[in-house]
Amino acid sequence: MRSMSKRELDQSNFEPKLVAFCCNWCSYPAADGAGASRMQYPVNVHILRIPCGGRVNPGFVLRAFELGADGVLVATCHFEDCHYMFGARQAAENYKRLETVVRILGMGKRMRLEWISAAESPKFVRVIREMTEEVRKIGPNPMRLRASSLTAEQELATCVVA
């Protein structure tokens, strides 16, 4: 039996860190419903409640990667259910523009856009599970090394300055 390299060993113990930007009106209630219904999904997702998916600035996604997120989910309303009429469409447009930048950075499969209504808690759980498995196969965020070398004070300072 061969011994595992340090990289292989690190990858086998790897638990991805996910950030989910969830719309206040649809996908956040879906996540809340999943918890209230005791549906099981990975605990390595940090859910950020936002007013509207259309307000997720591409810089927020890039900053999440820079600070060490292994994957980022933008979850918003379905087009016809958006409380702000065009927020879900704006989220799709922002995602399309951001997709090119993220692909150039070599992070393409680490980002995902999903339309999840408040009544779709099982879909939220499925998406989180799928994304966790996809990112686990890809491995740690290569930008994480840079972010993890910062002390807590330095990381806080970069957030305040940004």
DSSP per-residue string spanning 67-106:
TT-SEEEEEE--GGG-TTSSHHHHHHHHHHHHHHHHHHTT
For residue 73, the cross-strand partners are 20, 112
- Cβ atoms of 48 and 99 closer than 8 Å: no
Average pLDDT of the segment spanning 120-135: 97
pLDDT category of residue 96 using cuts at 50, 70 and 90: very high
Q: Say if residue 133's pLDDT is above 90.
A: yes
From residue 10, how far is each of 5, 16, 36, 74, 139 by CA, in Å? 9, 12, 34, 28, 9
User: Are 118 and 110 within 8 A, CB to CB?
Assistant: no
Backbone Cα Rg of the chain = 17
Q: What is the mean pLDDT of the chain?
A: 87
pLDDT attached to residue 148: 53
Residue 25 has pLDDT above 80, yes or no: yes
SS3 label, residue 109: helix
Res 144: pLDDT: 72
Q: pLDDT band for 162, please (50, 70, 90 cuts).
A: very low
